Amino acid sequence: ILNVEQSPQSLHVQEGDSTNFTCSFPSSNFYALHWYRWETAKSPEALFVMTLNGDEKKKGRISATLNTKEGYSYLYIKGSQPEDSATYLCAPYNTDKLIFGTGTRLQVFP
């Protein structure tokens, strides 16, 4: 079973703080890396699908980078807002399926 690790497991920040978290995954047989935001009682929502080493993607205040050679991706949130509170999941596509990490749970306090 491929190991996908996300750190930290949980994070509490103040409104306005910037934050980042990490997704580590096996670099062999890499094809794509997905990031999803999952708010409580809602459906996971796609943020990014990244495929190229060195790729950087941005969506509003959220951005992500990808290093396929060393097997990691960073997700950054600039100026966190309470509505950013959610669990952020990463999932590399490997061996014909998405392999999900356990997620980073972010709570942003006003």
Say whether 62 sits in a helix, a strand or coil: strand
**3-state SS, residue 99:** coil
Q: Would you list the DSSP string of 48-77? A: EEE-STT-EEEETTEEEEEETTTTEEEEEE
Which range touches other proteins (CB under 8 A), out of 20-28, 57-65, 73-81, 87-95? 87-95
CB 73 within 8 A of CB 6: no
- Residue 2 within binding range of other proteins, rule CB under 8 A: no
91 versus 106: smaller Cβ distance to other proteins: 91
| 13 versus 49: smaller Cβ distance to other proteins | 49
Q: Summarize as ranges the residues that interact with other proteins (CB under 8 A).
A: 4, 31-32, 34, 36, 41-46, 49, 89, 91, 93, 96-98, 100-103
